[in-house]
Structure 1
Amino acid sequence: TALPAETATFKKFSGTEQTKLTGIEDSATIDQTGAEVKDLIVALADDVRQIIISRPQTGQKKIYAIQTHSDDKQEIEQSDTAES
């Protein structure tokens, strides 16, 4: 059986893409502890850091992301599922 022709396209990372990759641990996975996450958040500049502690109960919303866009408008992502 013949192998399909190579169709991959290679390009250099943009500055933004490289910045996203800089500082990621070599063995980073989804197993970060709460303390590690807190340290990363605290290390952010004040103008990009917002912390909301949420302990929703039945019927309340759980906020899991807040983004501030360049026009200073905020986008809030939420879930109707309460934490257990």
Structure 2
Amino acid sequence: MVLWIVIGAAVLGLLVLALAARPVLARLPELARALRRLEDRQARAEEIGAQLADLQERAEAVQQRAVVAQERIAVIKAGRGRS
């Protein structure tokens, strides 16, 4: 008799677990699609980050060239002022 009660409780527990897991299992394809979209967005963000780093390096190089050009202009103006 006790054995049947234990078996019944175990079966009831498994049934409750299956009913609770059913909605989650039904959403798995939707969650998988969302995961793929997030992975695509992450890859795009990493790509943009690399492009941004490259752009920043180029901007710093241009800024350095501008500083050098300004220094040269100052030297040229100073040389003209002496004449």
Normalising to structure 2: TM-score of the pair? 0.22
More strand by share: 1
Which structure ranks higher in relative contact order (CA pairs < 8 Å, sequence separation ≥ 6)? 1
